[in-house]
Homo-oligomer: A and B are copies of this chain.
Amino acid sequence: MSEPGLACCTPLSGTAMSAEQAEQVAALLKALADPVRLRLVSLIASSATGEACVCDLNDAFDLTQATISHHLKVLHSAGVLDRDKRGVWVYYAVRPEALTAVATLFSTAVRA
């Protein structure tokens, strides 16, 4: 695309991220890159028991129950939240592995 015949700078070295790895991480980040979903994760993580039922989460937002359910599904599909149905209510809990994966990725990326 740009072939002027001379190298304008040092070539990119080191072990960069592969395309497949980038797709995976992007999928996880995309699930978290939403204000509502971030608050959902924050609410669940900051709860005393470490989990929360949908009925309480609904009251925390000015959104339809269908919308909250959709966001929870996205977070669950991405592996961020765990799902546990007890009787009539459904409880969601945070998967620490997903969050620590993001944390370690960006902490090591600074000085690779």
Contact = CB atoms under 8 A, between A and B. Distances in A.
Given A35-B23, A58-B1, A99-B106, A48 B17 contact: no
Contact of A14 (B8, B29, B35, B48): B48
Given A1-B65, A38-B17, A12 B107 contact: no
Interface residues of A, number: 63
Contact of A10 (B10, B47, B59): B47
A29 to B, nearest CB: 4
B49 A10 contact: yes
Interface of A: 1-2, 4, 8-17, 19, 22-23, 25-26, 29-30, 32-36, 38-39, 41-49, 51-53, 55-60, 65, 88-89, 91, 94, 96, 99-100, 102-107, 109-112
